[in-house]
Structure 1
């Protein structure tokens, strides 16, 4: 444009983090796609090893160890800490000279829908950025063993570029809605996805039980994010063949089943083939009925000062 100094413009800064670790295929594919567009300044600040299922755990009493990592086209650091740690130090200007315009956490191996959002380190990385006033997205891919491959991460990142660009446009124009961050889930068959769908966080959850084992290696591992593969076996699993010491009992989680709710919820829409976009806030509030119940119940608490006996 005539009369405008081109030096006034700069590329948007996107910082990528995750919970699967800085070497995870999902993160590397996302970074590769962002770099290949030549439209962004790409920063990476992620855990140095897998930190799946750690939720919003943070390092408090110990110093964080941070190491420079070579990733083509990006400025990258590996953090000996959690996803929330990585997001926090990444936006602090201790590692990068400027605060990123947008933080993207992912792409995670396994979906993050419903109640599993609470467990997710991927979502926590985006949530921590949101706490600190930086717009953020969490991105997860509904990985299914026997169907999915690492190539799907690249396809998923490309499919979500319009979402990333739309958010950056809102940020640039000063119209970005700052009261939430976005949780994005990409369907297994990403090539034939049905488009974007705005959803609400549902109540889906994999029901987990426990079984006793005689060694750490007995039994298989679950996915990196509390989700259940379509070909997972639901059952009691092998019985313990010997009696372990009572001083050192070993137990492993096992999948008991899957519970989910219906339409307009994240898990259902994801299974129907949509890329789900779910707004999340900092806190999980109870519903209005629960809040009203508490308001009516609390004034009567003093009427129950006597000890209570439960008859079984």
Structure 2
């Protein structure tokens, strides 16, 4: 749809929606450098925790959106849809040089990466050979403000510029993409630290609610979004009609994992840079266990 110049083409996507302050701050910072051609292909509405889901059986709508200094489209699809469409030949006449997904409201460390639409927005281009980054901010209620997104975006510029320079020189490794997490006190961060994906996750349970009102923002899960008003307890085994449940945060998992884990470093105040790949290789001891196990299950197994 658009012809671009010779400057590096940087495409931004996210899972919080095209109007999210994190995305808008990132775009403004990128535009202000006057170094890139800035493109945006982002969800029309919030798609948090969509993971790497895609729209398959029906068309998705796209509408052009005015964002100063950028060519932007709102897509009625998932983050992976937005990234896939953005790197195709349809919106921007060919793939961008780099895709950045974020800045997400909330960190994406440890097992949360599995659920993250923000990370999926970077993983999808990576699967198709396009370099990418995902960026998340460890937002804390009562401490954080929307101004922190601008500080965080500026803190990521050295990484963004270095990646683009390596791409230009043909030295950028294609075996992983980078998942970046910004600490809550981003203005006083302790520096940059390369980490590994940890095993941390938030424990989430369920509670029964009384209303079937679909108050959620996520069109893919709108039938599961209900008012979080405690309802009268009903025995599920004797339900006279449909009843509703909603998720609730129970606790943070406590771990004694080594210090090179992503969530440990971000809580210590570092900007974490975690290489992520698409392959999910089990740990060596698990592979050894199942090699022996399968021989007992199926004697002819190799």
TM-score by length of 1: 0.85
Task: Give the match's secondary structure for 1:114.
Answer: coil
Deviation at 1:246, TM superposition (A): 3.9
Matching residue of 1:211: 207
Point out the more displaced range, 261-270 or 199-208. Answer: 261-270
Structure 1 pair 216–144 and aligned structure 2 pair: CA distance change class (3 A): farther
Q: 1:31 and 2:27 equivalent?
A: yes
C-alpha distance in structure 1 between counterparts of 2:248 and 2:32, whole Å: 41
Deviation at 1:296, TM superposition (A): 1.2
Deviation at 1:302, TM superposition (A): 3.3
Point out the more displaced range, 164-173 or 240-249. Answer: 240-249
C-alpha distance in structure 2 between counterparts of 1:217 and 1:79, whole Å: 25
Matching residue of 1:249: 243
Total equivalences in the alignment: 279
Deviation at 1:247, TM superposition (A): 2.2
Task: Give the match's secondary structure for 2:111.
Answer: helix
Matching residue of 1:15: 11
Q: 1:40 and 2:36 equivalent?
A: yes
User: Which residues of structure 1 form unaligned runs of 5+?
Assistant: 1-8, 222-236, 304-312
Matching residue of 2:89: 93
C-alpha distance in structure 2 between counterparts of 1:156 and 1:97, whole Å: 30
Task: Give the match's secondary structure for 2:252.
Answer: strand
Q: 1:123 and 2:114 equivalent?
A: no
1:299-310 matched pairs, under 5 angstroms = 299-302=295-298
User: Which residues of structure 2 form unaligned runs of 5+?
Assistant: 217-227
**Equivalent residue for 1:69, pick from 44, 65, 72:** 65
C-alpha distance in structure 2 between counterparts of 1:40 and 1:159, whole Å: 17
Q: Which has the larger radius of gyration?
A: 1
Structure 1 pair 177–215 and aligned structure 2 pair: CA distance change class (3 A): same
Deviations 1:22-75 (A, max 9, x none): 010000000000000000000000010000001000011111211111110000
TM-score by length of 2: 0.88
C-alpha distance in structure 1 between counterparts of 2:123 and 2:173, whole Å: 15
